[in-house]
Amino acid sequence: MDLNISAITEAVLKALEKTNANEGDIPLGISNRHVHLSREHVEVLFGAGYELTPFKDLVQPGQYACKEQLTIVGPSLRPIEKVRVLGPVRSASQVEISRTDAFTLKVSPPVRESGKIEGSAPITLIGPKGVVTLKEGCIIANRHIHMSLEDGEKFGVKDNEYVDVDAVGARRTRFFDVQVRVHKDFRLEMHLDTDDANAAGLKNGDKLSIVR
């Protein structure tokens, strides 16, 4: 029997590629500009003893959008209004924007993991009761995926690994250097900012796949 080993190998590789591409679709959550506040800054911006008002639960347990919104201002003095506050309160205030927002504000935020604000860009927050100028705290959030422990095992990745991710659609795109965050309390979701999502023609709930 005459076997074409090359043809068989190619067929197997294509089958594996197709299987891997469809394995474990990851839902997308698009992250618009938003603010995280410390307890101190909540009271400066909204008044002594003020408590943030939950408006909508987010996918990640314990995280929620608040009814409260702020105005943010950079060196351009061109304000961006109605920037949503996310809860709960944090140990340090942080503003997450897109590169497009950075051009409007004329700030130079680094691309960072959320919470890593040392040496990041300054920005001013304006609330109904006061103003806070952060010496650091403005970042562009890095591309990242939240996973539970079970999801980490399923995808064969560990916390703080970096992977490449494909978005297949009208504007097929590959996202490189996507940070994976694995934690027992996380739910499966990839986060992109509005610039990345718009460039790839993506919307909330679209499915993406880790490149094997």
Q: Which domain holds residue 126?
A: 32-141
Q: Are residues 38 and 129 in the same domain?
A: yes
The residue among 96, 111, 141 that closes a domain is 141
Task: Clarify whether residues 101 and 157 are in a common domain.
Answer: no
Residue 15 lies in a domain: no
Q: What is the pLDDT of residues 150-188, one digit of tens each?
A: 999 999 999 999 999 999 877 999 999 999 999 999 999
CA distance readout (Å), 140 to 44, 49, 145, 154:
24, 30, 15, 29
Question: Count of domains in the chain?
Answer: 2
Tabulate helix, strand, coil % of the chain (nearest 5).
20, 40, 40
Dihedral (CA of 81, 86, 89, 94) sign: negative
pLDDT tens-place string over residues 123-150? 999 999 999 999 999 999 999 999 999 9
Tell me: the pLDDT tens digits for 88-97? 999 999 999 9
57 domain residue, yes or no: yes
Closest listed residue to residue 20, CA positions, set 155, 192, 144:
155
Other CB atoms within 10 A of residue 108 CB: 13
125 with 51, same domain? Answer: yes
Evaluate whether residue 14 is within a structural domain: no
Q: Flag whether 48 is in a domain.
A: yes
Same domain, 136 and 56: yes
- Domain presence at residue 11: no
What is residue 2's predicted lDDT score, i.e. its pLDDT?
53
Pick the last residue of a domain from 95, 125, 141: 141
Q: Clarify whether residues 57 and 123 are in a common domain.
A: yes
Mark whether 153 and 187 lie in a shared domain.
yes
Residues 44 and 74 in one domain: yes
Is there a domain that residue 55 lies in? yes
| pLDDT(13) > 60 | no
* CATH code of the domain in which 170 resides: 2.40.40.20
Residues 6+ apart with CB under 8 A from 5: none
Do 73 and 120 have their domain in common? Answer: yes
Same domain, 118 and 151: no
